[in-house]
Amino acid sequence: MAKLKEPTELQLAYLAGVIDSDGYITINQSCRKGVYYHAPCIGISGTRRQPHDLAASFWGGKVYRYAPKNPSHRAQYQWSRQGEAAAEIVELLFPYLLIKSDHAVTAGELWDNILGGKGENPYPWFGPDYDPMPERFDLRQQMIDLNQSRNRVRTGRLLDGVQHDGRPEA
C-alpha cells in the first residue's frame, strides 16, 4: 500500500473550502437484517478532478468518474470516505470550515456516540439498558435538516430564513 501524503495547513484550508462549496458532510444510515448502522461520511462532487485527487492523496479512497447521459454535460467526479476515516478528516478540516461547521459538529457527535459503544464497558455513564439508537436517529435527522434534504415532504425550501415554494411572490 502506498504511503499517503500529509496535508499542509494551506491544503487543509483549501480542501475545507472545497467541502464548503462542492462537498458534503453527512450521516449515512443502512439497515441489514433489521439492525441499523450509522456512519459519518464526507465527500466531494464536481466536474474538476484535481480536488478529488488531492483529497485521495491524503486520505485514500478512489475517485470515480460518471459520464452524463447528455453529451453536452461535463463528466462528474466523486470522492468520499466513511466511518473512522471520515471522522478523522472532519476533525482535521473543522478549524477551516466556514459553511459546514455545524455539519462537522453533528458528524463528530455521531462518531463520539459510536465510539462510546465500543469496548468492554460501553456507555459507562448510562445504565445497562441504555439504547444509543434514538440519539443516532436524532443526529441523522439533524444532519438531514442541516442539508435541507430533498427527501422531505415538498413544502418548499428554507433559504436564508425565507420559505420558498417555487412560486413568485405577489
**What pTM was computed for the model?**
0.79
Give the number of other CB atoms < 10 A from CB of residue 151.
7
Instruction: Please say whether the beta carbons of 67 and 56 come within 8 A.
Output: no
Reported as a pLDDT band with limits 50, 70 and 90, residue 79 is very high
Residue 31 has pLDDT above 50, yes or no: yes
pLDDT tens track for 95-107: 999 999 999 999 9
Q: What is the pLDDT of residue 130?
A: 76
Reported as a pLDDT band with limits 50, 70 and 90, residue 1 is very low
Residue 158 has pLDDT above 60, yes or no: no
Reported as a pLDDT band with limits 50, 70 and 90, residue 133 is confident
Q: Which CATH number fits domain 9-149: 3.40.50.2020, 3.10.450.40, 3.10.28.10, 3.40.50.10860?
A: 3.10.28.10
Query: How would you class 6 by CB atoms within 10 Å of its CB: exposed for 0-12, middle for 13-18, buried for 19 or more?
Result: exposed
